[in-house]
Amino acid sequence: MNDHTTIAGLDVRPLAGACGAEILGIDLSQRLSDESVAGIRRALLEHCVVFFRDQTLTVEQHKALARRFGEIFIHPNYKGTGPDPEIVEIRREPGDKRIVGEEWHSDTTMMEEPPMGAILYALDVPAYGGDTLFANQYAAYEALSPGMQRMIGGLRAYHTDRKVAGPRANNNAFRSTKVREDDAWRETVSLHPVVVTHPETGRKLLYVNHSYTVGFEGMTEEESKPLLDFLLAHGHRPEFTCRFRWQKGSIAFWDNRSSKHLAVHDSHQARRHMRRVQISGTRPV
C-alpha cells in the first residue's frame, strides 16, 4: 500500500483506510491553476475529505477558494447571525454545553439541493481535543447485505432542520455559535432517497444522518425508528471513518454528498474558532 500518491502534481497522503487524505505542498491563499483545482477535486472524490496544513486565508481568499469549486451556498439558519451571509463563524467558548455538529451529520440536508461540500478553516484551536471525525458513506452502503440494499433501495426519507434550529431546538442558550431561533423561522423539510447515486462518481451511497433525517416516506416516525436507527449507527462504524486533529491554519474540505462528520465535544475549557464556507450542490437522486 502506497503511503502517498501524486495527483496533478499534488502530494496526496491517505489518513486512514476508509477516507481522508492530506494534500501537501500547496498554498491555498493563491489563485490555483486549473490543474490544481482538478487535482484537489479528484482527491476529494477519491477520499471523501481532504486536509491541508499551515494555511493563511483571509475571508476573501477563503471565499475565492470555494468559488473555484462552485457557487457559495448561503446557510438559511445562520443567515443574519453574522455580518457576511457567505461565511459561518463557528465558535466554542469555555463552558459551552453544546457545540455545532456534535451529532453525526451531513450538512444542511433538509434543503432540496443540499451543499456539495464545505471548506472549514481553523483560526484558533485547543492544544488537544476538538477533533473532527468523518465517515465514508460509499463504504457504509457497500457493507450492507444484498437483502438490505434491495429493501432500502426504493425508500425515501424526510430531512428536517427542526432539531438544529428554531425556537424549539433551543440551542442558543447552550452555545456561543448562534442560529436562527426567531419567531419568523419556519421548518424546512425535503424528501431524499435513502440510497443516492453520487453525481460525479456514479457510485451508490447511504444518505441518512442523525441531525436531519427523521423518518421514511409512507411511515410514521415511530415505525421508521428501528430501521433508521440501524442505518444511522451503521453509517459511522469505525472501519468507515478517519479522525482529524486540528492545528491553527488547518483546512478540511469534505464532500458533503459522500461523507458524514462529527465534531468531538471534549475540549470543554478551551476556545475553538473556525470559519466555514459551503459550496452549492444539486438535488440528491
Q: Which CATH number fits domain 5-279: 3.60.130.10, 3.90.1170.30, 3.40.50.2300, 3.40.190.10?
A: 3.60.130.10
Q: What are phi and psi of 170, to 5 degrees?
A: 55, 45
Contact 162, 170 (CB under 8 A): no
Q: Is 3 a catalytic residue?
A: no
Residue 234 three-state SS: helix
pLDDT at 1 exceeding the cut of 70: no
Report H helices in the chain: 34-47, 59-67, 137-142, 146-152, 221-234
Amino acid type, 88: V
Active-site annotation holder among 41, 91, 92, 105 = 105
* 221-251 tens-digit pLDDT: 999 999 999 999 999 999 999 999 999 999 9
Active-site annotation holder among 192, 261, 272, 275 = 261
Looking at residue 150, the DSSP 8-state letter turns out to be: H
**pTM, two decimal places:** 0.96
Q: Is 107 a catalytic residue?
A: yes
Residue 89: Cβ within 10 Å count? 18
Q: Is 183 a catalytic residue?
A: no
Spans of all domains in the chain: 5-279
pLDDT at position 170: 84
* 87-107 tens-digit pLDDT: 999 999 998 999 999 999 999
Nearest residue to 236 (alpha-carbon basis) of 216, 217, 211:
211
- CA distance linking residue 184 with residue 48, whole number of Å: 36
Q: Is 276 a catalytic residue?
A: yes
- CA distance linking residue 53 with residue 17, whole number of Å: 20
